[in-house]
Amino acid sequence: MHLKAPEHQVAGHIAKDGKPGPLVDDKGRFFKPLQGDSRGEIEVMFYESFSSNTQVPDNIRRYFPEYHGTQAVDGSDGAAMIVLENLLSKYSKPSVMDVKMGSRTWYPEASEEYIQKCLRKDKGTTTVSSGFRISGFEVYDHKELSFWKPNRKLLNGIKVDGVRLALRKFVSSNTLSNTSSKPDSAFVSSVYGGSKGILTQLLELKTWFENQTFYHFNSCSILMVYENDSILKGDVDDVQAQVKLVDFAHVHDGNGVIDHNFLGGLCSLINFIRDIVQNPDESSAEN
Amino acid sequence: MLKVPEHQVAGHIARDGKLGPLVDDEGRFYKPLQGDARGENEAKFYESFSLNKEVPDHIHRYFPVYHGTQLVEASNGSGKLPHMVLEDVVSGYLNPSVMDVKIGSRTWYPDVSEVYFKKCIKKDRETTTVSLGFRVSGFKIFDHQESSFWRPDKRVVLGYKVDGARLALRKFVSSNSLADSNSIPNCAFASEVYGGSNGILAQLLELKAWFETQTIFHFNSCSILMVYENDSFLMKGGATEQAPRAQVKLVDFAHVLDGNGVIDHNFLGGLCSFIKFVKDILQIVEERDDIDTSRLENGH
């Protein structure tokens, strides 16, 4: 089994300085090291529960990575890894964005220290103001014919206008690294819009979140992906835009209550994207 | 002649020489302008809201009508103070059951003082605000067996956890002994008050649809008030039953801020959670009624 570091990871831990990071194989699988202090355990417990939960409708399962159990892997000191579907394996040139959902990333069951740490970060980012924050993204620039990703520190400091801009850049073709040029939103209708686009998928998720009380997806992210290769070959419509939920290290039981924290943030993200779809040139809020 | 409102369930109460709202006998509610900019903020909101053309007509019914401000003799004897003049939302009711539910998983908001933030977050964590996205602030219910109003102690209400909130929402539409904490609420009025095309759930869903797109206001620390008429459920010797006229109103706008192009995701999340609680009660009642009906049909 030949394992290597994933190419297009935009957020989360990466393999550096001897610390384990995720790996991918050539069979479409993603190996995620079990994080310490019970987070890895919680994530495994979530995947185990979710994969056997018969009350989750089929049309919602597609928004979650497939789970293939845990495995000890050579080269990671025999440490156990979670084996998941590699969400990017069917893409040849994917643009990817990771959006951390919820107006708070802390939750009642967490330690006081953790809560304070999260609160500080939530207040300093768009988490509190907008109900979500952009953790990272990588976009294919069709003029430069290469990938571009913004500086992580810069991203952490963006406010609401920065979020709007990033969501537009994500579906644009023009020189992205040049911050003074306006993004052209060239792929808005095929990536965000349409019956298979991201907005439709988010709306489907929203309906489920209005009723499901199984899980509270604290600190989870929504990953948005689409294919640039088909655009390069002249087919703007075949972008295979996909929404996936990822990162379940802090998921807890819903205990009969809906995940109002995630849902509020999801509705906010939907509104941002819908605004861009309805105003491909510029939304009223950006004037 | 102004007097202390009979049916106030939350907020400052004009009693024992304290400053609080008053009502007249013409359906108006006089709310003293609170100090430290809150009163000003609330009046500014009402003014802005009544003029705002982007608010659809069918949403206006969920807000008290605003009649400007007026100098009125204050309830604490400190002379004439400016008061906001609002619609008294319970004035058309003879014996209303009323509940105040503070909506949102946080009552603080960006840019507040550290002191205010700490005070809010402590209360949010101690109540169901963080866990449920809303908390019951207060309520009074007409007990049909005792023929009198019952209201729980404020400290008890603030101490509610998830089960307590659920129980309160059931008691709100029940006719059996509410004061007895051991009796199971019968939810006798659930379908008429919560359900139906004009019931509370239908109104909440209408509000939800507006909140999914409106970016004009952020309703920090606002409450939803639920009211209904008990007299419609009292047998009046052959008189036709009237509808309970269940009504939802948003109240308390001292902390409303501009939306700035972002939806009020804090209020919306809490509203959806509240909707789910009401839906669950309706579903249990429906299932129970179905079982009863089939029992009747099977000769039990």
Domain identity same for B115 and B156: yes
Note the pLDDT of residue B205. Answer: 98
| B294: enclosing H helix or E strand | helix B265-297
Note the pLDDT of residue A246. Answer: 96
Domain identity same for B31 and B53: yes
Chain B residues closer than 8 Å to A287 by CB = none
Q: Are B265 and B106 spatial neighbours (Cβ–Cβ below 8 Å)?
A: no
Note the pLDDT of residue A19. Answer: 61
Q: What is the pLDDT of residues A102-126, one digit of tens each?
A: 999 999 999 999 999 999 999 999 9
Note the pLDDT of residue B242. Answer: 74
Domain identity same for B209 and B135: yes
Q: DSSP letter at A93?
A: S
| Interface contact A177, partner B, CB < 8 A | no
Mean pLDDT, residues A201-210 taken together: 98
Hey, how many other C-beta atoms are within 10 angstroms of the C-beta on B65? Answer: 16
Note the pLDDT of residue A287. Answer: 44
Mean pLDDT, residues A207-220 taken together: 98
Note the pLDDT of residue B238. Answer: 46
The three-class DSSP label of residue A7 is coil
Domain identity same for B82 and B103: no
**Closest alpha carbon within chain B to A286:** B261
Chain A residues closer than 8 Å to B215 by CB = 271, 285
Largest Cα–Cα distance of chain B, in whole Å? 69
Domain identity same for B107 and B43: no
The total number of structural domains that make up chain B: 2
Note the pLDDT of residue B11. Answer: 84
| Interface contact B259, partner A, CB < 8 A | no
| Interface contact B127, partner A, CB < 8 A | no
Q: What DSSP line would sit under A103-119, residue for residue?
A: S-S--TTS-HHHHHHHH
Chain A (141-160) residues lying within 8 Å, Cβ to Cβ, of chain B: 160
Q: What is the pLDDT of residues A146-162, one digit of tens each?
A: 999 988 888 989 999 99
Note the pLDDT of residue B241. Answer: 63
| Interface contact A128, partner B, CB < 8 A | yes
How confident is the prediction for chain A on average, in pLDDT? Answer: 91
Q: Which residues of B152-176 are buried (b: 16+ CB within 10 A; e: fewer)?
A: beeeebbebeeebbbbbbbbbbbbe
Residue A179 has pLDDT above 70, yes or no: no
Nearest CA among B144, B175, B150, B189 for reference residue B281: B189
Nearest CA among A183, A215, A209 for reference residue A270: A209
Domain identity same for B60 and B157: no
Domain identity same for B118 and B51: no
Q: Are B100 and B138 spatial neighbours (Cβ–Cβ below 8 Å)?
A: yes
Residue A283 has pLDDT above 60, yes or no: no
The C-alpha atoms of residue A188 and residue A134 are separated, in whole angstroms, by 18
Domain identity same for B185 and B149: yes
How many angstroms away from the CA of A213 is the closest CA of chain B? 10
Q: Helices A260-278 and A198-209: crossing angle, nearest 10°?
A: 150
Domain boundary among B56, B87, B118: B87
Domain identity same for B257 and B114: yes
The C-alpha atoms of residue B298 and residue B300 are separated, in whole angstroms, by 6
CATH number of the domain within which B207 lies: 3.30.470.160
Question: In sequence order, what are the residues at sequence separation of 6 or more whose Cβ sits closer than 8 angstroms to the Cβ of residue A114?
Answer: A106
Q: What is the pLDDT of residues A231-263, one digit of tens each?
A: 999 988 899 999 999 999 999 999 999 999 999
Domain identity same for B165 and B270: yes
| Interface contact A253, partner B, CB < 8 A | no
> Could you say which residues of chain B have pLDDT below 70?
34, 177, 235-241, 300
Chain B residues closer than 8 Å to A111 by CB = none
The two three-digit tokens of residue B258, written as one number:
């501009």
The two three-digit tokens of residue B129, written as one number:
């605000």
Chain B residues closer than 8 Å to A160 by CB = 260-262
The C-alpha atoms of residue A169 and residue A95 are separated, in whole angstroms, by 11
| Interface contact B216, partner A, CB < 8 A | no
The C-alpha atoms of residue B201 and residue A23 are separated, in whole angstroms, by 49
| Range(s) of the domain holding residue B42 | 22-87
Mean pLDDT, residues A38-48 taken together: 93
The C-alpha atoms of residue B255 and residue B29 are separated, in whole angstroms, by 19
Domain spanning A94-286: CATH superfamily: Inositol polyphosphate kinase (3.30.470.160)
| Interface contact B106, partner A, CB < 8 A | yes
* Domain-wise residue ranges, chain A: 23-85, 94-286
Q: DSSP letter at B34?
A: P
Domain identity same for B64 and B180: no
Q: Helices A260-278 and A160-169: crossing angle, nearest 10°?
A: 60
Cβ separation B110–A123 shorter than 8 A: yes
Predicted complex ipTM? 0.94
The three-class DSSP label of residue B287 is helix
- Model-wide pTM > 0.80: yes
The three-class DSSP label of residue B264 is coil
Model confidence at A13, in pLDDT bands (50, 70, 90)? low
Model confidence at A286, in pLDDT bands (50, 70, 90)? low
